[in-house]
Amino acid sequence: MTSPLAVPAARPADEHPRVCVLGDLILDHYVSGTTRRISQEAPVLVLEQEHEEYRPGGAASVAHLLRGLGAQVQLIGVTGQDAEREVLLGLLRRDHVNCTAVVADPERPTTIKHRYLGLAAGRHRQQILRVDRESTQGLSAQVQEHLAALLETALESCQVLLISDYAKGVCTPGLLRHAIQAARRAGVPVVVDPARVTDYRPYAGATLITPNRTEAGMASAQRIDSPQQAITAARVLAAQHRFHAVLVTLDAQGMVLVEQGRGKHYPTQAREVYDVTGAGDMVLAAVGACLGRGMSLPEAVPVANAAAGLEVQHLGVAQVTWEEVQQALGQRGGTLSAEQKHLELEQAARLAAQLRSQGKRIVFTNGCFDLLHAGHVTYLAEAKAQGDVLFVGLNSDESIRALKGPSRPVQKLPSRLAVLSALEMVDYVVVFQELTPVKLIEAIRPHVLVKGGDYRGREEEITGRELLARWGGRLHLATFVPGVSTTKITETIREVAA
């Protein structure tokens, strides 16, 4: 039996690892609107409500994020016997999270956080108020025993145990000790995202603990202003509490991992931060998914770093896929398949942001690419030569019909997408439904926008040209190859057929 104090060095890769999550379940409620005035009743903002949304939080958020990363999830925790429980379970079941071990305790409420978000002057929404309803009292002995029994059963089939402690009463010292000891007996590694407490003794013996800078400083009584100071604090914690490893997250400075005394700093890439909510949950989920896939801790940390970077670019907690993380890391070797090259708009925007943060020069062009010919190939090769990564916007069948008439396209979208994606110079393809690619250009924000040489002298007609000034991009007109076009090819075919 493998001890969870040492992460298995080699295990068969599992694309859908079985992960058990134990911890405090939270329901996040977002109310958003616009703030235009101050109340006449008191000196407070008036929020004109426009939208509300419920999302899983706490350990439920970790389960939600794990599903995005492709894991199978068994969730263990406690809610109240109330309407909020049903809302939370509905969200989790929609994600296909196993909730059979989520216990209803009529003596406590389901923890809910109401966040009120205001938009002013067209800027990003910002939190203006948070209202919490919760109980932080420890679980009763009866409920603890019930959870412990459920956990024992879950450990029989899971590959990793994650503990998400938000200090809401579920992760009592007794239950934590039982969980870690049971996992050790089962040979299952335990990863803990600790509460903001100074005493880590209840987590003693865990495989890995993932405090942030503030939490690690509090628990180790160390000042942490630099990665080296974080390594020192991590060594203190590991020695005091028999952790196999400690991972300290350092926001803009990345992360440090101390494993069996050896410390390493993992810098992060600079990126636009929209909302740090859920970043810690994503680190826990990503590490769990990696360990379940048979990866070592040094292999898992860069994945968690990249996943957290993608997460903070979104409002609230948002799922990130395993494929998106791998794209952000640039670890896909060899030629991508057509399916891998095909991105949705939101995926393309995220990937482009990551590439920019890595100093990559992004090129964008677009077209119908109906019957691919020599002119297209020459054009795309010249486009790729303008930078490091070429994104191609591909018109949908509907938009082509609207532009060119009912007889077009000659080739339907799946064929056009497959042929275009097979070209080595094309890195990614994004299909758009609109008549122009302006939404795509705004989302990707290319350094270079490439259009055909036939636009020379009428550049003002080029869609997106005026957007380039916003981010310092430039327009490149490719060499025009005369005598070849889809229209001429189809005309020739008709003549031969006649």
CA pseudo-torsion sign 343, 347, 349, 354: negative
Type and span of the H or E element at 474: strand 474-477
- The pairing of strands 255-259 and 245-249 is antiparallel
Instruction: State the virtual CA torsion across 287, 288, 292, 294 in degrees, nearest 10.
Output: 20
- Tokens 């809401």 sit on residue: 168
Contact 299, 260 (CB under 8 A): no
Q: How many CB atoms lie within 10 A of CB 427?
A: 21
* Identified catalytic residue from 28, 165, 281, 370: 281
Q: Is 96 left (phi over 0), alpha (psi -120 to 50) or beta?
A: left
Q: Which residues contact 317 (CB under 8 A, 6 or more apart)?
A: 28, 55, 56, 57, 61, 64, 65, 277, 278, 281, 282, 311
Which residue from 473, 406, 465 is spatially nearest to 445, judged by alpha carbons? 473
Is 281 tagged catalytic? yes
282/249 Cα distance (integer angstroms): 11
Q: How far apart are the first and last CA of the chain?
A: 76
448/363 Cα distance (integer angstroms): 5
Instruction: State the virtual CA torsion across 414, 419, 423, 429 in degrees, nearest 10.
Output: -20
- The pairing of strands 98-104 and 72-79 is parallel
Q: How far is CA 132 from CA 111, 113, 137, 200, 473, in A?
A: 7, 4, 15, 26, 45
Enzyme catalytic residues: 281
